[in-house]
Chains A and B, each alone.
Chain A
Amino acid sequence: EDQVTQSPEALRLQEGESSSLNCSYTVSGLRGLFWYRQDPGKGPEFLFTLYSAGEEKEKERLKATLTKKESFLHITAPKPEDSATYLCAVQGYLSQAGTALIFGKGTTLSVSS
């Protein structure tokens, strides 16, 4: 069964303290891995998509990487405005749900100044 596990569930950082979020996945043929950011009361906001092992994407203080079994979201020198829940999702070629996304529970990041 296709599955996504994110860790840690919650992460508290000081402003400027770099860290990484983990997303482990099991999927029948990976079409793509997606990272979203979700703020309270809002819908998931697209950040990155990765398609093959070894691929990396960057945007401001965020960098996403992908291996055959997991993805990392690296946050460099975070600011309080980076506080949010970060969601990882996969899309598989042979998934029961077709092209739907399979989500993890998310990592809630809090950055204090």
Chain B
Amino acid sequence: EAGVTQFPSHSVIEKGQTVTLRCDPISGHDNLYWYRRVMGKEIKFLLHFVKESKQDESGMPNNRFLAERTGGTYSTLKVQPAELEDSGVYFCASSQGASRGIQYFGAGTRLSVL
């Protein structure tokens, strides 16, 4: 069974540019989460989808971040325009159940904003 897949694995962009990250969850998992790890800090929650609906986006830092999950399958996270402080590793996780469900993580996308 395929795990959670994220593209690209690494992205280097300049401040002010736009970047789109993609996440393909495990097939059949309705719950999809985005997290971010900034250097030296712990992994932090960004938002949670249940199928195609945003269940919780309380962790999104500002309106430069836009997440979508069309059709309840893969998800994209767009940063526009990117700022230096957006650099970090962005992880996607999926689970069957939300409450007590085991979240399985992708390998992450390392974003470097120069």
- Structural contact, B43 and A103, CB atoms closer than 8 A: yes
- Point out the residues of chain B lying under 8 angstroms from A31, CB to CB: 99-100
Of A14-22, A37-45, A58-66, the stretch lying at the interface with chain B is A37-45
- Structural contact, A49 and B45, CB atoms closer than 8 A: no
Checking A46, A49, A91 against B104 with a beta-carbon cut-off of 8 angstroms, the contacting residue is: A46
Report the Cα distance A102→B48, complex, angstroms: 13
| Inter-chain contact total with CB atoms closer than 8 Å | 72
- Structural contact, B4 and A43, CB atoms closer than 8 A: yes
- Structural contact, B58 and A96, CB atoms closer than 8 A: yes
A86 sits at the interface (CB 8 A): no
Q: Which residue of chain A has the shortest Cβ distance to B108 in the bound complex?
A: A43
A87 sits at the interface (CB 8 A): yes
Report the Cα distance A105→B42, complex, angstroms: 4
- Structural contact, B91 and A44, CB atoms closer than 8 A: yes
Q: Which residue of chain A has the shortest Cβ distance to B9 in the bound complex?
A: A41
Report the Cα distance A104→B31, complex, angstroms: 22
- Structural contact, B59 and A97, CB atoms closer than 8 A: yes
- Point out the residues of chain B lying under 8 angstroms from A99, CB to CB: 31, 48, 55-56, 98-99, 101
Contact of A41 with B42 at beta-carbon distance under 8 Å, contacts A46-B102, A97-B56, A100-B48 already known: no
- Point out the residues of chain B lying under 8 angstroms from A91, CB to CB: 99-100
The smallest beta-carbon distance between B34 and chain A, in angstroms, is 10
Checking B41, B45, B104 against A100 with a beta-carbon cut-off of 8 angstroms, the contacting residue is: B45
Q: Which residue of chain B has the shortest Cβ distance to A36 in the bound complex?
A: B105
List residues of chain A with CB under 8 Å of any chain B CB.
4, 31-32, 34, 36, 41-46, 49, 51, 87, 89, 91, 96-106
List residues of chain B with CB under 8 Å of any chain A CB.
4, 6, 31, 33, 35, 41-45, 48, 55-56, 58-59, 91, 93, 98-108
Q: A97-B45, A101-B43 are in contact. List 18 more A-B contacts (CB 8 A).
A: A43-B105, A43-B108, A44-B91, A46-B103, A91-B100, A97-B56, A97-B58, A98-B48, A98-B55, A98-B98, A99-B31, A99-B99, A99-B101, A100-B48, A100-B56, A101-B45, A102-B45, A103-B35
Contact sample, A vs B, 20 pairs, CB 8 Å cutoff: A31-B100, A34-B102, A36-B105, A43-B4, A43-B6, A43-B91, A43-B106, A43-B107, A45-B105, A51-B100, A97-B56, A98-B56, A99-B56, A99-B99, A100-B48, A101-B93, A103-B43, A104-B42, A105-B41, A105-B42
